[in-house]
Structure 1
């Protein structure tokens, strides 16, 4: 019989909210939101397996939290090169992580790409590549991690999606569709795993100061247009008057994987300064 989550974990009193001693896998951790999530978890005493398709980013991140001889250490970050589009590679890394550090308590899906362009003019390659990372990548990691969580009767999976998944955006058809699919997959997974005590949620950021966001800015006034809104692109502005920092998104993830969120599952938390008027 699976061990159910009763609010305590690794000797931590229930309700304290501490994550110390838990183990997490974060995808897309080489930069931006993924790196911020890995740092936030490590700061709470979580040992993080930080993965990215390019090893350089996660290796630099791990150097901030040195782990001697690759041994598991609360609050440490261990880097792994992993392409979420490669199912076999994902299973290999998950097996390696669990063997070296122990069963995973947390999975955060952050890896994503953006191929902007008119919806009717996207190439097959742009469409396929976008879904391969943003949607199929989530499927690969969840499929590799969820059964172990379910067997132990505890765990938390968070997929970092986008507010574009719920609001149409000009020139973002593939991205928005892929994020919408990933969000619904995560919720369906959460429904199926709920009885085991495993929770699955989505964090949906809006415009966030990352390399992906900056690549869309063509001139110095672009950030101001994001904040003020762009009627020509059918975009409202950001009511809070600021573009998110990656740490804002990481804070939302941190909450959803914590004990105070133990009764929250299958939810989509928009972290966009009110841009979608939700």
Structure 2
């Protein structure tokens, strides 16, 4: 008999759920027996996700950069679906470019989603988890938050900030039995990754590395699939990780050499 990992019968909330890593996390949680509140600005993507879930996914169209909208969604989920046991913050944006050419608007938008959005989502969920004395929160960060990247300064800084706020929250919530962890992917085959590509050779370049950008390749010789990242998230929210909190798990095929 398969071991109950604590996910069966739980209510989970996932942001950035409509595609890429977020959609893979939702699919994985559903397979593990959870009911999922899927949050994204992409209403069509959410509808597709819900249609294939056989009633296990409830879509909520909202922008994580809108604190009031996030609070409203969490209230709706708690009252309509039940207490949230698992929260996974995946929503993120990328505005690539050298820092000296980054506009104030691109900087602000990057942080509003990648950092403030994470803060608001985790805060709203944590406030409701604390009285119950249970819960697991995971932020999907980036290995760019742990090693410098050319042309990705705003993104890397926002992800580094989100990583530290998640770990600090984990320290504050540990006495309440709530765990907070980070999964930091490397290059993953998602729409965000592909927006950086200009031709068929780009995949090989990602795997091989680009010395002129001081970027190591991927030692395992493959780019990640969204399911690879989702599996790490599923582990951390499960009872198999019941003694793990405040950790930052790099899932990047060794690309950062865990610098």
The TM-score range, normalised by the shorter chain, is over 0.9
Residues 30 and 57, structure 1, Cα contact 8 Å, conserved in 2:
yes
| Equivalent-residue separation in structure 1 for 2:8 and 2:123 (angstroms) | 25
The equivalent of 2:115 in structure 1 is 135
Deviation at 1:66, TM superposition (A): 2.8
- Match for 1:65 among 15, 31, 53? 53
SS at structure 2 position matched to 1:103: coil
The equivalent of 1:28 in structure 2 is 16
Residues 18 and 44, structure 1, Cα contact 8 Å, conserved in 2:
no
Q: Does 1:39 align with 2:31?
A: no
Deviation at 1:18, TM superposition (A): 4.2
Q: Does 1:170 align with 2:150?
A: yes
- Match for 1:221 among 201, 206, 209? 201
SS at structure 1 position matched to 2:59: strand
Q: Does 1:198 align with 2:185?
A: no
The equivalent of 1:73 in structure 2 is none
Query: Could you state the TM-score of these two structures normalised by the residue count of structure 2?
Result: 0.98
- Match for 2:79 among 99, 118, 124? 99
Deviation at 1:233, TM superposition (A): 0.8
Give the alignment's Cα RMSD to 1 decimal: 1.1
Structure 1 unpaired stretches of 5+: 1-12, 68-75
SS at structure 2 position matched to 1:114: coil
| Equivalent-residue separation in structure 1 for 2:49 and 2:4 (angstroms) | 28
> 4+ residue runs of structure 1 moved beyond 3 angstroms?
none
SS at structure 1 position matched to 2:199: coil
Q: Does 1:115 align with 2:115?
A: no
Q: Which moved more, 1:139-148 or 1:181-190?
A: 139-148
| Equivalent-residue separation in structure 1 for 2:54 and 2:218 (angstroms) | 38
Q: Does 1:181 align with 2:161?
A: yes
